[in-house]
Structure formats: structure tokens, C-alpha cells
Structure 1
Amino acid sequence: MQFDPVLISPRQQAMTQAGFWRHQTINHFMAQALQNCPEHVAVVAHRSDVAEPVRLTYRLLDQKVDRITRGLTSLGVGHSDVVSWQLPNWWEFIALALACARIGAVANPIMPIFRQRELKFMLDFGESKVFIVPKSYKGFDYEAMANGMRGDLPFLQHLVVLNGEGDNSFETLLLGDDTPAFTGTGLTADDVVLLMYTSGTTGEPKGVMHSSNTLFANLHAFIETYGLTQKDVILGASPMAHLTGFGYLAMIPLILNATTVLQDIWEPRQALELIREEHITFSMASSPFVADLCAAAEAGGPVSDQFANFCCAGAPIPPVLIERARKVLGLAVSSAWGMTECGAVTITEPHRTNQKSGTTDGRPVAGIELKVVGVDGDSLPVGETGKLYARGSSMFAGYLKRPHLNATDAEGWFDTGDLAFLDAEGYVRINGRSKDIIIRGGENIPVLEIENLLYKHPAVAMVAIVGYPDARLGERACAFVTVKPGHSFSMEEMGRYLSENQVTRQYHPERLELMEDLPKTPSGKLQKFKLRDNAKAFGTTA
């Protein structure tokens, strides 16, 4: 694979001189830990199907990473090769990311919720050389699914099964003792280190490329905003195959030489127990996680006075939830906004949570600029809504094989696709999206893709999917459908059809409304805003 990170070189000199690009990779921070604190606990991995957690000091983690590095090399993985994995929050996830960095390979974590439809595209488009899956997770047979796709993936050379029973098991291929020593050169800070797919509106995901410089610029700014140190213990419950989990719950603890505690299946009562037992101080996830923790504590779950800060991203946080978390958990919940393309670039500082988190999505961290522009392209004054643009140190390296979609002008301004306004202090509020997506529990639902698929159903004449408010998940999806004469369509049929077409359950609309016609302009353009207004009646608020 030949990567073309076209957005790197125009920023290299300025970002380096400003100190935002430090030209360090994760290999630097692992070496630092081995020198300064080899017996400090790096990872505590709690698995739902295993009684005791796996505890790895930095020394033990390094030994695991060394073996995986040699194992991947023996499979032919070299510099710039893509290694994909579809794993939960297990220690092997972190070890794989570190092993890829040692080789100079490109890490491509994929959410466990995805099935054949999404996976075939991602693995083929990224030309993945190795694909690693669990034998099973949450009762689903990933090995059988992956084997069924092999014929459609010409670039894939190896399927590796974690907890597998055959010769292609993770334990045999990547943790074996007989693999040769690694002698490669690793990666530079401007090499593509991470490929992560983001849900789009064009019917296909876009492959976001990050270098160590672009990724770590934001992580360092994040660390400074929260004052995180090696003494912090971070809860990793949000999926690490999202940038939130990968960057802030996996990489930040390693940068700090601190500890991350992994939870593979979200269970709020257990999370409270882990927070108390493991002395957790910080976490980051979407607002449903906070609501669940509050409910579990109100139901008698333990509360820890060490759990001080929670960064909430993915959707606006209801002010009532911020106050509830403060009263029930003693927790400061900070709002944040970001994208896979740029990380969490706006944050409400912990000491401003009461004043700002309920009404804004934070303000830019060091190295990031924002502007809001009107239809004429001019910057808008405070309080006026327009298109949100961002530029700076943590902006991505470009979209894989699609530089024409990078949406970045000659001055480095990236069109986020969001509508927003700025207040007098520079805090931003996202109050609309020009991209047609729904954010359900922090997960972007690619509306256009699901609509296009439903249009192919023999009973569907027209379809429009919009979001409606939900107290826990932020949004749910409602499909407004008109049916062809002589046909019928139901919620059950919609679910069956989407499942038959291998659409992950998280993308299925939770509600179906059958209509005689959908609202349109005189020119025939669909008026989704009217459907959104109708759908508000279905919602719940905290």
C-alpha cells in the first residue's frame, strides 16, 4: 500500500516550530516507561468471560508486544502494510497497536459491531494484509464470518483468530516462541500510523489517516487541559476502535506511563466497582455512559471520591445530566467536540463545567483554530450560526485514496460539515449538521447508506431517516416510509431486510412511520426538517 498523506507537508514547518509536532512516536514513550518505571502497571484488562483480570506491567506488556511484533513480521507484515483487527477492549488490542508501531505498519482497528457488508469494503479498500478477530464475542462467531469473506478479499493474506483452536490462532501465530527477532526500522512521526474509517454520507466509509504527529498533537493538548499525570488511572470502557477509545483511553495512558483499566462489555454497576477497586480517576465516553453510571449509583452502586473527571463527547450533554453526575458521583463532566479527522479539538475545562458544559461543546485546545462562516464565506460574528471550519496541529493526514474529499483549502481550513456558533469567550456550540448523519450513543449512523438500501426493498416507494431525541443515547433513528401500491411494510420486515443485507443492528432505525407522502418543496426536494419536527414527539429527554 502506498499512502499519500497530502495534508502533512504543508503544515510540517509551522507545526514543528510552534512545538505542536514533537516528532515522537509511541515507541518513544514505551522506551521511556521501560527505563523509568518498568514495574508500573500499564494495563488491567477485565474480560466478561474470564474471572480474573490480566495485569501487565510495562515490562510484561513490552514482552508481549515484542512477540507480536516478531509474529506479524513472520507473516510478512512490513512498513506501511495495513493490519486490521476487530477486537473488543482486550489487552491484545493495545499490544497490536504497539506492535504495528514498532514495525511501521498501519494500525486499522475496526468496531466489533460491523459485519460482512462494512468489513468487505474496509478490508478491501485498505488492502489489509492481516485481519485479526476473536473466535467469538457476545455470542457471535467472528471466525466463521471472517472465513466466509476470504474469497472476496484478494489482498488479505492471513486471518488470525484470537482464542482460536486452529493453526491460525493468535496464540500460535503471534505469541509463539519460535518467531525470528525483529530487525526492522520502525516508523517516523510523519508516517501514517493509524487508519480509521468514519461513517460518511456518500454510502461508503472514508479512511481517515493519522500520523503520530497529528494524533499526538491533540493528545498532548488534551493531557494539558486536564492536568493528567502518571498517577492517573484511566477507565477504558468506550470502544477502542473509535478514536475516543484509541487515542484517549489507550494511547494517553501510554504517553503518561500511567495505567488504563479495560472493560470489554459495558455494565455500569461493574464499572462503578472497577472505579472504586482500581482507584480510577478519569474516563472519556459519550453521554449514555454517564447516565448509566448515575443510575447504577442511585440504585446502590459504590461511589469513589477519586473519580474526578469525565470527558463527554459524541453528542451534546443535557445540563440536567451534568448536575446529576456532580451530585450523585461527585464527578465533573466536561463537554467536548471532535471528529475522527481531528480528535477532540474543543473541550470545556474541568473548572468551567458548571458554567459551560451544558450550553457549549468547549473551546479549542492548543494548536487548533475555529471559524464560523456564512453563505458568502465571510466569518460570522459571535452568536450567529454558520458552517464550522477547523485547522491546526491535529487535523488528519487526508482520506485514503480520496484526496479530492479532504475538504481542506489552501490555508488549511477543514470543512467539518457541522453548523455551529461561537460565544464571546470562544466556546463553540454545535447546533446542526450539514452532514446527514445521526449520532446514536456516540455512534455515527450513515443515514444515506441505510436509506439507499431501504429504497431497494420492493415495498418501499420513498424513505427518509431522521433522528429524534433520546434521554440516554442522545438520538435514535426513525424511518419515514411511503409504500408502493399493493405492498405492505412493517418494523419486523425492515429489521429482517436490513439484517439480511448484513447491516449492523446499531444502524437499524428504532422506529418506523408509514406515510401517504413525504413533505417536499415545490421543486420536489425532500423537506427533512419537517420530518425532524414530527419525530421530536417520539423522543424522551432527561
Structure 2
Amino acid sequence: MILTNQNRIEDFTRQGWWGDDTLYSLFLDALDKCSAQEALVDPKNRQTITGDAPKRLTFQEVNETVERYASIFFEQGLRKDNIVIIQLPNVVELPMVYLALSKLGVISSPIPMQYGAYEIEAIIEEVSPQAYITIQSFNGNAHAEKFSSIFVKGEKKFSLGKVNSFLNIDNSYPDSNSHELQQSYTNENPCSANDIFTICWTSGTTGTPKGVPRSHNLWLPMAKAAAFVSETKEGDTLLNPFPMINMASIGGFLFNWLLCKGKLVQHHPFDLNTFLDQISTENVKYTIAPPAIMNMLLNNPVILDQNDLSSLRCIGCGGAPLSEWMVETFQNKYNLTVQNIFGSNEGATLLSSRNEIDDPHLRAQYFPRFGVEGLDWSNPVSKIIKTKLVDVETNEEIHEPEKPGELLISGATVFDGYWNAPEANAEVFDEDGFFKTGDLFEISPQDTQKKYYKFCGRCKDLIIRGGMNISPEELDNLLSSHPKMLEVAVTGYDDEILGEKVGVVAVLAEGETITLNEIIEFLTDKKIAKFKMPEDLRTVNTLPKNPVGKVIRRELKDLFN
């Protein structure tokens, strides 16, 4: 399925920004050169996560499983341009499922393990999937069987582990002629680099969850930018601690792993002791971690002294502003470079690396102004995108320093639009085709030659709790039907560990009282994911609103902070 218009494909291909590589073709290249090399490694604590033993696989062993998976999926009727919902933790099977589906030209739509029936049913409605792939148990709890009943339109259901009404791909083997038929089919129906590889999910800039289709050609420039920041070399070991469902992990690790023909070590869910142990025992060269973890490590030097991180060439960090103190201390005291990363599923890509900004204070605060005329940067992504800031009120472009504006971006990393959402797409692209990120930046002061962007906040009201996006509008709509509430609005409030938590501000009906537990029970009945649950409550007489009646969420946040 190709969604990119032909003129865009021809333009980017002519300029050398896009090519012919797919995830699967990159794997075949690595297999050809490194078949006996170790390729995929499970989390050490897999037994706790999934109930079975961790695996270590060479490229050849990966290939054998990928071929088996592809033949199983083909035998069960999956074909090019079908869509499959994938809900798997970071185990070695996840990249192999991606590879098998990529070979067939089937579109992968990965979702977080935290998603519940409410979110999955909405995605089913959006993409009409042909199949669902998940796992028998997760963290000691039955997982697949919870969602069996919501797939009611003949979707194929596959699992890792034995589950009623699911095909267990752990121990299933296709018929003797299925492999040959699968090979003939893929030869006759090749997947191109412009075909859609994934539909990831984001709350985007429109408030409600949207599918983000990305082709192989849209993913690869982001992967190459990540390889530049991680200073990846052939044969490197990469440690992926973020769920492999979005930009940070698919671009930064899945594709990057194959580009460097290295070893990918999986980690999930995040466990600090396991994470640090993996770095030292696996000789990890690059990984990523949220700012809260990096700050916590410096505040607990005993932990750092007990673990050997000397193998790391650098570590990526993003999702929230970085502390200058943190970046400087790791660089000067521990000889560890912290790279500042900003990106999105839609294709926003700003990367502040040491080989472009050596000063840790500047690197913590600023990002290079990629794609701005007159500024030259060495990261390859800077040559294939354009960025600008616009005033959120007037839409006029901002050229002066220290004036916040919305970041807009266009180019070879930027998606073509949300899945099946023409109205949302009309809102998020300007007349020149720039994507409106919904994020506020400002140009750095004159004494920095105005070379950098500084992150200021979000135009949108999206809540980011522990790296998970939460739409306040979605929760508003769900809670608005609560019988005790006249009005309600949800906001994020600051939290040192998670970044933000969810708070509810309610105007109650006369004579009513309400508790946080009542609200949680109400939302639990709606079957929403647990990470969206509110953790604090305020009641007020009126909600703050602007002249046209829109709730002013920034004032709600002040009620909690």
C-alpha cells in the first residue's frame, strides 16, 4: 500500500533521500554478511515477564524463525496490504514478527501492552485488521484471552504461548508446501520501500488517537539520523529499553540494528537493575533512558559506582527537557556523552549530539536548527528536512530570538497524514505542506548566533505520563457522562518520576460529593488503559474558560502544582 503521492516519491528519490531498501532487505544484507553472529537477545528477566526462558539468536536462527512465521501467516491467509495489530512486549519475537510481515508486505500496527479493550476496539474500528498478534501472559497475568472476544469479524488471532482460539506460533509449523508458496507469492508481489510498513498510534496534535502510517522510506532517514547520534559502528550492541511501537525504538533501534549489522538486546518493562546489568554484561555501545532515570542515577552515585557503564559510547535522552547539571556531570565526571533527542511518530526530528554541540550546557538546552537556510549541520537528516517557527496567533513566521512559536517541519521524514483522517490532516498541515508539530520552540539568543531551537512547551494539551501519550479530551468525553458532574476537565500536572500525572477538575451537581476512587471505578467500567487513570482530584465552582468557552487547561494545572 503506497500512500505517498508520486511527485513526492520522485522528488525525494531523485535527490537521493529515498531509495529501495526495506526492513526485510536490510535484514537479508545483514544475514548474508553475518549469519553466524549473535543478532537478538531477550531481556534477562524474560521468565518473569512472559513465563518462559530468555533466548539468544544468531542472524541465521532469526532467519529460520522469520521464514517460519512468514509461512504461517501466509498459510493463514495474510497477504500484502493487510493490516495486523501487534501487542507484544520487547522480546526477541517482536522484531522477527516485524520482519516476517515486512517480507509479506503486510502492514504492522503495533500498540502498547498497556492498551485495554477500549483502546483496541477503537483501533479495530479505524483499521479493520485482518489479524491480531499477542502473548499468552504478561507479568504473571493472562493477557491474550482478555481480548479474544473483541475480535468478532473473522480476524486471525496469533499468540506466543497456548491460548484458546489463538494459533500458537511458538510451536506451529506450516504445511510442507506453504514455504514454497509463500516464497512464490513474495517474489510475485514484492514489497517496495514506498509501501507502508507500520501504522503507529499517537494522540498527535488533534487530541484523539490517530494512526500514523509510515513507509520504509519514511523510517530509514530517521534511522540514519539516529545512527549518527548514537555514533553506531558495524557490529555494535544496542540496548532497547523503550516499547518497540514508535519512533524512538523502531527508528532508533529496529532499523538501526540492521543498518549496523549488530546485536539488539531487548528490555521491557523498564527495570533499573536489569538495565544497568545488561549494559555491562552485553557490552552495550548505545541505549536510551528518560531524563528522570538519568537524574536519579546521579543522585544515587552508589548505584553508578556499582555498575560498569564504560562500554557505552553515548546514551540518548529525551521526552522532557534535560538538566544542564545532568548532562554536564555525566560528561565531565563519568566520561559519558548524553545526546538530546526530540522526535515524533509523525516525523519531527531534532537531535542535539556532541559532535555538533560539544558544550553540555548548550546540548541540554538546545537543538540544532535543522533545515534552516544558512545553517549547516553534519547530521544527514538536517539536509532532508525544513523547519520553521510560526506565531500561534498570527501564523507569521518568527525570525527573532527568544519568541516562542510552533515548530513546523517538512521533508523526507515527515509522514503523509493520519490514517483515514482527512479533517485532522487539513488541520495539521499548512498551505506549504509543513506539518504543525504542536510543540513550542524559540530561537536561541544572539550570543549563540541564533543557531539553535529551545523547547518551550506544547501548544497542545497532551499529557505525557512516563512516555505514554494521554489525550485529556478523550478523558473529558468519558467523564462528562458521570451523573455527579456538571462539568469536568482533565489536565496533566508535574511529577518528578513520570514527568506528568493525570488530574481531574470537576464541577459537581448541587449537593453531590465525589472521590477519586469513584472516578477510577467509573473509568474502569469503560475499560480504558490503566496508565490513563487519574491520580488526583480537585473540585471547583467553575472551570476557567476563554471568551469562546474553551477550557484553559494551563490554569487547571496550577490547581495541582
Report the TM-score, using the length of structure 1 for normalisation. Answer: 0.91
The question of 1:517 aligning with 2:517 is answered no
Q: For the structure 1 residues 44 and 471, does the alpha-carbon distance in structure 2 shift closer, same or farther, using more than 3 Å as the test?
A: same
SS at match of 2:42: strand
Native 8 Å contact 2:226 2:251 kept in 1: no
The one-character-per-residue Cα deviations of 1:124-182 (angstroms, maximum 9, x if unpaired) are 3111111011111023322221212123xx2x421112111557333367555646112
Q: Is the 8 A contact 1:110 1:196 kept in 2?
A: yes
Task: Output one character per residue of 1:427-481: Cα deviation in whole Å (capped at 9) or x when no partner.
Answer: 2222122222011222111110011111111112222222222222222222222
SS at 1:448 equivalent: helix
Deviates more, 1:101-110 or 1:424-433: 424-433
- Contact 1:70/1:179 (<8 A) preserved: no
Aligned to 1:461: 486
Tell me, in whole angstroms, the C-alpha distance in 2 between the residues paired with 1:48 and 1:226: 26
Counterpart position of 2:526: 501
CA distance in structure 2 between the partners assigned to 1:32 and 1:499 by the alignment: 47
- Pairing partner for 2:319 from 306, 314, 319: 314
Mapped partners of 1:398, 1:175: distance in 2: 38
Aligned partners of 2:352 and 2:268: how far apart in 1? 28
Cα distance change on mapping 1:329 and 1:8 into 2, 3 Å: farther
User: Hey, what does 1:368 align to over in structure 2?
Assistant: 385
Residue 500 to residue 47, structure 1, CA distance change in 2 (3 Å): farther
In 2: Cα distance, 1:294 partner to 1:8 partner:
48
Change (3 A) 1:219 1:208: same
Q: Distance in 2 between matches of 1:174 and 1:126?
A: 27
Alignment of 1:354 with 2:371, yes or no, is no
Deviations 1:343-380 (A, max 9, x none): 5x101112426032321245433212110012333311
Contact 2:200 2:213 in 1 (8 A): yes
> Which residue identity is paired with 2:465?
R
Which residue does the alignment assign to 2:14?
17
Cα distance change of structure 1 residues 411 and 10 upon mapping to structure 2, 3 Å threshold: farther
Deviations 1:318-346 (CA, angstroms, capped at 9, x unpaired): 33333454467543222121111105x10
Alignment: residue pair count: 529
Aligned counterpart for 1:26 among listed residues 1, 19, 23: 23
Find 2:460's aligned residue among 421, 435, 442: 435
What displacement does 1:204 show?
3.7
Q: What amino acid maps onto 2:11 in structure 1?
A: A
TM-score with structure 2 length normalisation? Answer: 0.88
CA contact (8 A) 1:283 1:311 kept: yes
CA contact (8 A) 2:502 2:534 kept: yes
Cα 1:484–1:23 shift into 2, 3 Å: same
- 8 Å CA contact 2:111–2:245 kept in 1: the answer is yes
CA contact (8 A) 1:297 1:328 kept: no
Is residue 268–residue 293 contact of structure 1 (8 Å, CA) maintained in 2? no
Report the 3-state secondary structure (helix = DSSP H, G, I; strand = E; otherwise coil) of the residue aligned with 1:430: strand
Instruction: Give the 3-state SS of the residue equivalent to 1:482 in structure 2.
Output: strand
Partner of residue 388, structure 1: 407
Other-structure match for 2:344:
339
User: SS in structure 1 opposite 2:560?
Assistant: helix
- In structure 2, the partner of 1:210 is 214
**Partner of residue 155 from structure 2, selected from 154, 157, 167:** 157
Distance 1:238 1:72 in 2: 27
| 1:146 aligned partner | 147
Kindly provide the amino acid, as one letter, of the partner of residue 396 in structure 1: F
Task: Note the C-alpha offset of 1:47.
Answer: 5.2
Matched, 1:419 2:440: yes
Which residue of 2 is the match for residue 180 of structure 1?
178
Question: CA offset at residue 62 of structure 1?
Answer: 0.8
**Partner SS, residue 223 of structure 1:** helix
Contact 2:45 2:274 in 1 (8 A): no
Kindly indicate whether the alpha-carbon contact (under 8 Å) linking 1:84 and 1:108 is maintained by their aligned counterparts in 2.
yes
Q: Give the match for residue 480 of structure 1.
A: 505
Q: Tell me what 1:539 maps to.
A: none
Map residues 49-60 of structure 1 onto 2, 5 A cutoff. Answer: 49-50=46-47, 53-60=54-61
CA change 1:497–1:89 in 2 (3 A) is same
SS, match of residue 19 in structure 1: coil
Hey, what's the Cα distance between the residues in 2 that align with 1:217 and 1:372? 22
Write the distance in 2 (CA, Å) between the matches of 1:4 and 1:246.
Answer: 20
Distance in 2 (alpha carbons) for counterparts of 1:325 and 1:377 = 40
Q: C-alpha displacement at 1:416, in angstroms?
A: 1.1
Q: Give the corresponding residue for 2:278.
A: 274
> Cα distance 1:535–1:328, how it changes in 2: closer, same or farther (>3 A)?
farther
Alpha-carbon distance change, 457 to 232 in structure 1, aligned in 2, over 3 angstroms: same
- Asked if structure 2 preserves the Cα contact closer than 8 Å seen for 1:314 and 1:443, the reply is no
Would the aligned equivalents of 1:202 and 1:448 in 2 still touch at CA under 8 Å?
no
1:506-527 residue CA offsets vs partner (Å, 9 max, x unmatched): 1112211122222234654433
Q: Indicate whether 1:229 and 2:237 are aligned.
A: no
Change over 3 Å in CA distance of 1:55–1:492 after alignment to 2: same
State the Cα RMSD in Å: 2.3
Q: What is the match of residue 397 of structure 2?
A: 379
Q: How has the CA–CA distance of structure 1 residues 89 and 15 changed in structure 2, closer, same or farther, with 3 Å as cutoff?
A: same
**Aligned-residue offset at 1:387:** 1.8
Give the Cα separation in 2 of the matches to 1:115 and 1:230. 39
Cross-structure match for 1:124: 125
Q: Per-residue CA shift, 1:39-79, capped at 9, x if unaligned? A: 12111112534285311111111111001000100111111
Q: SS in structure 1 opposite 2:479?
A: helix
Equivalent residue letter for 2:398: L
Listed as ranges, the matches of 1:99-118 within 5 Å are 99-118=100-119
Go from structure 1 to structure 2 and tell me whether the alpha carbon gap of 1:361 and 1:459 turns closer, same or farther (over 3 Å shift): farther
Q: Secondary structure at the match of 1:535?
A: coil
Q: Distance in 2 between matches of 1:350 and 1:93?
A: 32
CA contact (8 A) 1:478 1:535 kept: yes
Aligned to 2:266: 262
Q: Which residue of 2 aligns with 1:452?
A: 477
Out of 283, 286, 289, the position equivalent to 2:287 is 283
Cα distance in 2 between the residues matched to 1:287 and 1:272: 15
In the alignment, what sits opposite 2:424? Answer: 405
The equivalent of 2:37 in structure 1 is: 40
More divergent stretch after superposition (360-369 vs 468-477): 360-369
